[in-house]
Structure 1
Amino acid sequence: MNFFQIINDIFLKMKWLEEFIYWLFKDVFGMNEHDLMFDAITFFFYDVIKIFILLSVLIFITSYIQSYFTPERTRKILGSMKGIQGNIVGALLGTVTPFCSCSSIPIFIAFTRSGLPLGVTFSFLISSPLVDIASIILLTSIFGYEVALLYVVVGLLIAVIGGFIIGLLKMDDQIEEFARFDINEHYELQEDEKMSQKERSRYALNEVKNIIKKVYLYVFIGVGIGALIHGYIPTSWILAVLGDNNPFSVIIATLISIPIYADIFGTLPIAEALLLKGVGLGTVLSFMMAVTALSLPSILMLKRVVKPKLLVTFISIVTISIIIMGYIFNFYQFIF
């Protein structure tokens, strides 16, 4: 076992925690390790504890980094970018802003009002909830670095391509009046407020508290569903709906995700349980991406900002991209 694998097992996968939970319920509480309830309970406690430990550490780190990327600074960076370069930078900046899809929309409005290219703002809007540093580490802890890297690359590609296509369609008139750039307002960017290292640390700690308060319920629900899938739902049932033998598995996984409101932290345990049951990697990735990028509440919020034509275009581009990605990676899963 190489050095990186040891580090991964100790700090990310937390094998020691998994072994402790297994020992606790088997030897201390005397549960039968062959019982379905044993699998469900150990899965639940292991994933809940691991996710909250990682979340606390990772939110602090990402929020500390984010303190250097205020909306004002982000607008300044994006304002100088045009074409595909702007889409790439917009998507990359989305990765250092740990927002859920709903909280990304006020940032999106600020960007459109400041006159940034529409395609660039949509690249940011797609990438921000889809890919961030915390989710990358959590993905690595559950699926390994290959799948985490794959998810990030695909997520960024969808953000770049989606934003680029929207930019080409010249749909600036599809933004509602209150969110459009008005030159008569002489909108100027304010200088970023300088923060000391102590203030950045305090800001990061507050973000840990705030984000944990927002996501803890989704984590419990997600892990609970994952535990039920892992312990009780027969593999044959899941594979009949989402398995490789069903040609519509990716489409089903994508569409059933849209009504769900959760971020990636709540969907990871479900995705982990599905993968353990033999569901294809592309189908699992499609499920995760659709939940984070196409949640119904965020679509309803976006509907207040953009007109129906642009909203339908955005949903169609992202949905089709996710579905195509799912089928491609299911087909080539043996490579990974």
Structure 2
Amino acid sequence: MAQRPAEQLHVPVLLERCLELMAPALAEDGAVAVDATLGMGGHSEALLRRFPRLQLVAVDRDPQAHALAGARLARFAGRFHPVHTTYDRIPEALAELGFGDADAVLFDLGVSSLQLDQRERGFAYSYDAPLDMRMDSTAPRTAEDVVNGYSEAELRRILRDWGEERFAARIARAVVERRAQAPLRTTGELVEVVRAAVPQGAQHRKGHPAKQTFQALRIEVNEELDVLRRAIPAALDSVRVGGRVVAMSYHSLEDRIVKQAFARGATSTAPKGFPVELEEHKPTLRILTRGTETPTPREIDENPRAASARLRAVERIRPAIRHTAPNTTRYEA
């Protein structure tokens, strides 16, 4: 069966609000925006259409996302600049393309609809598929490697820390016992192990009993939180004074990282009791959202996966310090 076009597969989350928050930074001709999570190109397409002189750098680690979004956005050749890399390398992607500062950066974090809906990629607990979960299909480590290769203590740690799983110890022990008989190869086999390990009375308190286990494995396989901890400061360092960074997250671990990075930049660094706030101690960011903003009921009806989205945004009000990291791969639009 032929793959449907990207625009038919995905409804961008909080699209109008994202555009509204970025618009003041993108008003000038030749403005540069970074879509740090290209996915299927919904947010990128909206940005390119809304701002007809915008230059857009589109980052994603998933080659399949680049293929689908590249076809969708081919008509914007010359203004659409895709780069195959992780979003902690935004400064290097900009430099490679010959851009200096960005005017706005957008993050739509977490697993994409493309990745969830393609059964063979193994992200979803509702389908029986190979235990893969790689966002970048060229990366060496899969969920199967983690499930069958990590020690019981390591499995317990990632289930507890990345999945916030109450029954991490029971699930880790059950996985180790099951794999001693035969390696776990599929999502269905893993779901069976989790169901057997989680007490019956707790099976549906937070939705599917394997939801948090799958979240933990996906984060571990893709090093998502480690990359995000580097990515938010890198994005903040990449925007000019007056530039904006907008981030949508879908679970508390992501949102906490975003919130803390934004709060650090919006807080004075003057020592406590210091009589005068020097220029270098003044905040570098201004927070644009009050707490987190969430999708409207209508948006959730149109796209139920948007229900857990939490949006935060900041504006740079003082210059940044630069950081660098290697290794980006540019895709031709």
Give the strand-richer structure, 1 or 2: 2
TM-score, normalisation: structure 2: 0.28
Larger helix fraction of residues: 1
